[in-house]
A and B are shown apart, each in its own frame.
Chain A
Amino acid sequence: MSRLIIRKVAVLGAGVMGAQIAAHCANADVPVILFDLPAREGPANGVVDKALAGMKKLDPAPFAAKDRAQYVESANYGSDLARLGECDLVIEAIAEKMEWKLDLYAKVAPHLRAGAIFASNTSGLSIEALAAGMPADRRNQFCGIHFFNPPRYMPLVELIPTAATDVALLDGLEAWLVTRLGKSIVRARDTPNFVANRVGVFSILAVLHHTQRLGLAFDEVDLLTGPRIGRPKSATFRTADVVGLDTLVHVLGTMQATLPDDPWCAHFRTPEWLQALIAKGALGQKSKAGIYRKQGKQIQVLDLHLQDYRDSGGEVLPEVEEILKLRNPVEKFAQLAAHPHPQAQFLWSIFRDVFHYCAVHLGDIADNARDIDLAMRWGFGWAQGPFETWQAAGWKAVAEMIRDDIAHGRAMSDVALPAWVFERDGVHAPAGSYSAAEDTLKPRSALPVYQRQLYPDRVFGEAADDRGETLWENAGVRLWRRADQDARIGIVSITSKMHAVGEEVMDGLLEAIARAERELDGLVIWQPAPFAVGANLQQVGEACRAGQFDLLEKMVAKFQRTSMMIKHAQIPVVAAVQGMALGGGCEFVMHAAHRVFALESYVGLVEAGVGLIPAGGGSKEFALQAHNLAQRAAGGDVFPYIQNAFQTIAMATVAKSAQEAIALGFGRAGDDVVFNANEILFAAIHRARALAESAWRPALVNPAVTVAGRNGIATCEMMLVNMAEGGFISAHDYRVAKAAATALCGGEVDTNRRVSEQWILDVERAQFVELLKTEKTQQRIAHMLETGKPLRN
């Protein structure tokens, strides 16, 4: 098969989804033309320009770096349709009206280049019906491409082919979406609302139904349906507010209209209280009131008994809380179903009805059970999909409980569970996941792109992953390899809780690198997210309390030695980063020979939050960077680079993407940014191999680093004086930031004095230990350990 080349993308429709899909393409270095209607007044591209400007203010940010917006060109259907000819992929994302879409298709079709893919981001309309709006000779290049909101952050894209869609083209598009945009794909069938929304919206309906039936409050239900059952914090009703209550009602209407034969059809209607809210204009977050509203700082929730808002609160019954904490899902579900309290009954009911719904519809809506489970994880942020939850809870027992509830009229529908449910022990097995349509187990996709994912997202019951061959391990790290990938590239994984860096991790890394130097060609530091949350504060806090400052000094010295070992090892050490890499974790990343970042990397030197400064070589690395950058600047002044680093460290700035991490100096321009986090280990092994084969040499330790010295410290201090006098920072903030300035500037030496790297390490270590001795820093550490949040003192 020849490679699918997508040089440029067009997105039609600059609404919430269209604009953000365009932004994400730009994130991935794909230039985009974003179209919308010509503006009625002002510049013709006004509609798109406004959407682009609006995205710069959104949180979480659609753009991964400030400069990305310039790679989205604005255009309008009035004058720019000919430019569609520049694009290899056109994504239509206009309003969900069939006639508007068909109208637009007729208008744009003549301008599409031969071979270009045209795909609709519809969330519910029939793909076959839309395809009919394309000229017959283009229908093989048409499909559904359904992103989830927000498209940068939600992994799921549903790909929906028609009968005519070219198979190779679809495979190529899937590979591109997976690797280039970092998305997770479910191939869906052309059934209403496809997979994730079909199940997800039903799940909301089930929650609505049982909330009302059991007389629970909305805030109470959100407590129950959030992280306690492995779902996002916004749970059900807050999510509805965010999505928009009108949108939710619109989707319900679509289900009612398109699924008249669905056994649950009677439930596809809008509750009266919801209709009343919409009639009042309370549409959720966008109209500042919905099921919740904010009064000053107080969040209020609609109370159906009071027919008014009240302060939001709610409590979970301690007994229910205890059940939810049970580790064994078999016990958990049995106890939930048996407990008489409405909260327990509610939870059992919402699970039961979703299980029931998924079992009945598996054959129509999805190729196999894995697709439904993964769709719910990737599209709705569930920790576990419905089938795997069921299977983990004991397939047969739960099936019997559902059958019993159906028989006694307790379920939302009286339709029987399909016969296959009772013929099996589960839907996921090492050989694959169950397809009800074909009555067989389906293995995972064989597309070559998935060979890059050494540890893909697995469902419960699936074959266990290859953990590779352990070469050495201690309590903090495991040194191993995947001989099937590269037998002479080692992988060292931090195994401590949250991958915090303590003594055992440092000892482990030092030993692992020493072994790798002798026995391997390269080393990758990789562990599933987070990369590392920083130093082990527990150990630091204990030593502080015991007044063991000599010990702490030695601990910091070892931290620095570990960083230096990473940097100056005789083999390339590649850091494969995803999720948080904070504090000491960030310092290890900075010292690696090369970094492979997942796009969603959150990197920062956040020591100031606990009253400390980077002392694992992080300050030294910034001083060294300033020295190197200044070599190329006229005049050779290091201070401008120090000033930026100072602000980054003093404000504990965390980069919110790989690109930002590189821009802030936590990485370098030549580092890899991999959009699919599941590919970073593969990429890092290959990068380590490439370095090993291409004359890579360890960095020299610089004996003559030009530092900003005393004037530099004073100039940083000017900023601090103004912030302290202006009441923006505390006296201790000042002290901590001054220590950071002192380390970054290489200590109280003459400006532009040349010092060794070791001198700077000694300065940062001394500053760190002095801060540890202060009461306020000790309070900050204790507070962080107790609450997980920084203390401002």
Chain B
Amino acid sequence: MSKQIQDAYIVAAVRTPVARRNGAFRHVRPDDMLAKVLRDVVAKVPGLDVTEIGDVITGCAMPEAEQGMNVARIGLLLAGLPDGVPGITINRFCASGLQAVADAASRIRLGEADVMIAAGTESMSAMPQIMGNKVSLNPEIFARAENLSIAYGMGLTAEKVAQQWKVSREDQDAFAVESHRRACAAIAAGHFADEILPYAVKSYAPGADGTVRITERVVEHDEGPRPDAAADTLARLKPVFAARGSVTAGNSSQMSDGAAAVLLMSEAALKRYDLKPIARFASFAVAGVPPEVMGIGPVEAIPRALARAGVAMADLGWTELNEAFAAQALAVMRQLEMDPAKVNPLGGAIALGHPLGATGAIRTATLVAAMQRDPGLRYGMISMCIGTGMGAAGVIERV
């Protein structure tokens, strides 16, 4: 176990439902989503002196336009937190939300803060092009062959992983069906009820007599899971990224909108507020891999995070492994010999959606809720691959 001044503990974690891109949150702003989860997470800790919050670290993978201008600071001000509370937006693409949790924990572990909020927010609906509002590549990428893979689309890298790790189309589709099955079962069983706080979406449409018709719809559940997902219908989808490939819209993660927030405290703060924490943030690791096989990133990050936490793979009771693509998730699981039953027990991004920079914080909330439900669950992990070739993993321990 790595040396640290003190431990950081997770006290509360909440999230919005995750909506499909251009779905229920089509007109919802990502800064509003952030403000909502910040209010919600603070409300989970009655009596908290919000002036004690050392920083609000927010992950966002495309921090521009509606989620630009340091969305963390804007979101916390919109949430009504005091002017004295600072905010910072960080970006490690798909690991941004997890990185936020890790960075918030680090500040506590270093003794620089007693109360921290980590968050993530992302609206993929707000982005007309999924690579951001303005795409501009460096000519140097194309000047040298070894740089070319920087330009690869994520789907193409998933094809490369499928090829190199020999993941068949059938396995990918079956994995996707299982993701939907687990997610639908989890919704039916109410397993997301503790982490999701319903979102009241207001919509403003032209109404009769020149008035604007304002309606409100409360969204309570994740929008992505499909109860009718079946192998034969998935088998009919055409590969999108390679003419003779295996990666389809059906066995890839969904583009989504969503946000989450996690409140962390030092032991001293816990004592002061007389709070019982849910989990201890045990370790975090991030590592690079070749960009053309970015999906394999967790294979490098997970062993490091486990080693730092002093935990064996077998000790993990629950892993939230982001399903960017079935191809890479399966390759990672096989390479690390992970137990499929313990990976994404409630389904993953193929069913639940993947709002890029928010996903890490969202899945932290899912893992924290699972620990609250199950006293027998001791160690859990959140991990994901990261565009341009990285992996991240964070381990938490139920206390």
Residues on A facing B (Cβ under 8 Å): 637, 639, 710-715, 717-718, 721-722, 725-728, 748, 751
Contacts and interface: CB of A to CB of B under 8 A. Distances in A.
A715 B134 CA distance: 10
A722 B138 contact: no
Contacts of B142: 714, 717, 721
B243 A711 contact: no
Interface string B132-144: 0011111101100
Contact of A722 (B134, B135, B141, B241): B241
Given A714-B141, A722-B152, A728 B135 contact: no
A711 B151 contact: no
Kindly list the 3 A-B residue pairs having the minimum CB-CB distance in the complex, ordered from nearest.
Answer: A727-B243, A726-B242, A714-B139
A59 B62 CA distance: 39
B249 to A, nearest CB: 15
B242 A715 contact: no
Given A639-B136, A711-B138, A711-B139, A717 B151 contact: yes
Interface string B113-143: 0000000000000000000001111110110
A717 B152 contact: no
B148 interface: yes
Contacts of A718: 135, 137, 141, 151
A203 B202 CA distance: 64
Interface in B217-243: 241-243
B153 interface: yes
A725 B245 CA distance: 11
B134 A637 contact: yes
B271 interface: no
A208 to B, nearest CB: 40
B223 to A, nearest CB: 23
B156 interface: yes
Contact of B139 (A710, A721, A728): A710
21 contacts: A639-B136, A711-B138, A712-B136, A713-B139, A714-B141, A715-B135, A715-B136, A715-B137, A717-B137, A717-B142, A718-B151, A721-B142, A721-B151, A722-B156, A722-B241, A725-B152, A726-B242, A727-B242, A727-B244, A727-B245, A728-B242
B159 interface: yes
B235 to A, nearest CB: 19
A637 B245 CA distance: 35
Contact of A725 (B136, B138, B156, B244): B156
Contacts of A712: 136
Contacts of B137: 711, 714-715, 717-718
Nearest to A725: B156
Contacts of B138: 711, 714
The SS class assigned to the B binding surface is loop
A724 to B, nearest CB: 10
The SS class assigned to the A binding surface is helix
Nearest to A708: B136
Given A637-B134, A639-B134, A715-B137, A721 B242 contact: no
Contacts of A713: 139
Contacts, number: 52
Nearest to B245: A726
A669 B319 CA distance: 56
B24 to A, nearest CB: 21
Contacts of A721: 142, 148, 151-152
A780 to B, nearest CB: 20
Interface of B: 134-139, 141-142, 148, 151-153, 156, 159, 241-245
A714 B148 CA distance: 11
Contacts of B139: 710-711, 713-714, 748
A643 B385 CA distance: 29
B136 A722 contact: no
A726 B151 contact: no
Contacts of B135: 715, 718
Nearest to A729: B243
Contacts of A726: 156, 159, 241-243, 245
Given A714-B136, A714-B138, 7 more contacts: A639-B134, A711-B136, A717-B151, A721-B148, A725-B156, A726-B241, A726-B242
Contacts of A637: 134
Contacts of A711: 136-139
Highest count of chain A CB atoms <10 Å: which of B138, B151, B159: B151
Contacts of A714: 136-139, 141-142
Contacts of A715: 135-137
A728 B156 contact: no
A727 B136 CA distance: 23
Contacts of A727: 242-245
Contact of B151 (A722, A748, A751): A722
A785 B152 CA distance: 37
B242 to A, nearest CB: 4
A637 B134 CA distance: 9
Contacts of A748: 139
Nearest to B134: A637
A722 B153 contact: yes
Contacts of B243: 726-728
Contacts of B241: 722, 726
A721 B152 CA distance: 7
Contacts of A728: 242-243
A145 to B, nearest CB: 36
Highest count of chain A CB atoms <10 Å: which of B136, B141, B245: B136
Nearest to B242: A726
B320 to A, nearest CB: 29
Highest count of chain B CB atoms <10 Å: which of A639, A725, A751: A725
Nearest to A643: B135
Nearest to B141: A714
A184 to B, nearest CB: 42
Contacts of A751: 136
A769 B45 CA distance: 71
Nearest to B148: A721
Contacts of B244: 727
A725 B159 CA distance: 10
A711 B136 CA distance: 6
A639 B156 CA distance: 24
A721 B138 CA distance: 14
A713 B148 CA distance: 14
A722 B137 CA distance: 13
Contacts of B134: 637, 639
A718 B129 CA distance: 14
A718 B149 CA distance: 10
B123 to A, nearest CB: 20
A728 B153 CA distance: 14
A639 B129 CA distance: 13
A728 B151 CA distance: 16
A710 B136 CA distance: 10
B141 to A, nearest CB: 6
B145 to A, nearest CB: 11
A143 to B, nearest CB: 39
Contacts of B153: 722
A651 to B, nearest CB: 15
Contacts of A717: 137, 142, 151
Nearest to B140: A714
Contacts of B141: 714, 718
A482 B134 CA distance: 52
Highest count of chain B CB atoms <10 Å: which of A711, A718, A727: A718
A194 B371 CA distance: 80
Nearest to B244: A727
Nearest to A635: B134
